[in-house]
Amino acid sequence: MSLRFVGDVALGSETQWRMAATSSLIVANIEGPVLADRAQAKSLVQPYSTHAALAACFGDRLAVASVANNHAADLGEAGLAATIGHLESLGATVVGTPFGGRSACTVITHEAHRVAFIARVADESFGTAEKARQAAPLVQRLEPAELREAVKRAREIADRVVLMLHWGQEWLTAPSPERITLARTLVADGADLVIGHHAHVREAWEVADGRTIAYGLGTLELRFPDTMEVAPTMPRDGKRRAWWARSSLAVDWSPASNAGRVGTARWNGREWAVQGTAPSQHRTYLATPTAQAHRAIARRDYWKSKLRTAWQERIIPRPAHLRSLAGIAGEARRAASAG
């Protein structure tokens, strides 16, 4: 039975969301607090899930839940304690927090293999240094040197080592050269699987030394409170799911074979189902992650996200904007190829 890794999860109070039936157990980043019921969301303006929504979506298949992200501690210690309680009551092993004396490395047994899970959140994910500082006692932060040592220690006590990293920049599909270097270094240190979150779009993925690196899985679902009390403070795309982002890479990984298969989880109107093999974006760029190529691709991604938002808001872009995007896309292709 494989483990299926999916993107960011914040279901709000919606209980119609379902993962398609499969024998795979689910591993997910739970973005935001988990609440007992919808009424509690009145004081919250960030992504969240209710206990009922998670139970409806995953049933008893949520095996591991990471809270190493920039929203899990939005309601402070009390909110995180409640979140952990809800997740554990669903049968999940919670990783990515030192709260309550939890270890920075959690080991579970699956397919007769001891699998170490290490989850971290990068300070850049918080937006400001102050937010990162406030969350520091509640989530495991990503420090590259410390993380490398953690991977080496985990190799001594486990058969497999899995990393779940909340990092990068929202809406950009190309990982930075620094992230590429770090991920490959962590594989060389002994990581068997590197799973990224936070960008809310599907990022590039690759296989390095026989190990799967998915720089960012994307978003399974990201719901915000929609009560009258907080609705005026939220952008439209916060309350209505962006149609282009309701897709996530799904990595089916077997500890026994140490093999990962990367597919795409898409909403088909009834459930999220995993389809085929996901294409690997930016293959040329990954082979030569130059700063010039990264700047060009990041610029293209930024403008694509702006146009998608305009489409969602029913704003018709000017022809000059479309011509500009075409020029930027060409620049990105040339920069990646020349790198």
Q: Where are the alpha helices (DSSP H) in the chain?
A: 51-58, 76-89, 129-135, 144-157, 177-189, 236-239, 283-287, 291-312, 319-338
Model confidence at 311, in pLDDT bands (50, 70, 90)?
low
**Residue 2 and residue 212 in contact, taking contact as beta carbons nearer than 8 Å:** no
Return the half-sphere exposure (C-beta side, CA atoms, 13 A cut-off) of residue 28. Answer: 30
| pTM for the predicted model, two decimal places | 0.89
Q: Which two tokens stand for residue 184?
A: 């490959």
CATH class label, 3-281: alpha beta
So what's the pLDDT on residue 131? 86
What does the pLDDT look like over 178-229, one tens digit per residue? Answer: 999 999 999 999 999 999 999 988 999 999 999 999 999 999 988 877 543 4
What is the β-pairing status of strands 193-197 and 106-110?
Answer: unpaired
pLDDT at position 1, please?
77
Using the predicted structure, report yes or no on whether residue 232 has a pLDDT greater than 90. Answer: no
Q: Domain residues of the chain, as ranges?
A: 3-281, 285-338
pLDDT of 169 > 70? The answer is yes
Predicted pLDDT of residue 280: 85
Q: How far apart are CA 98 and CA 95, in angstroms?
A: 9
Tens of pLDDT, residue by residue over 273-290, are 998 899 888 998 999 888
Residue whose tokens read 């795309």:
237
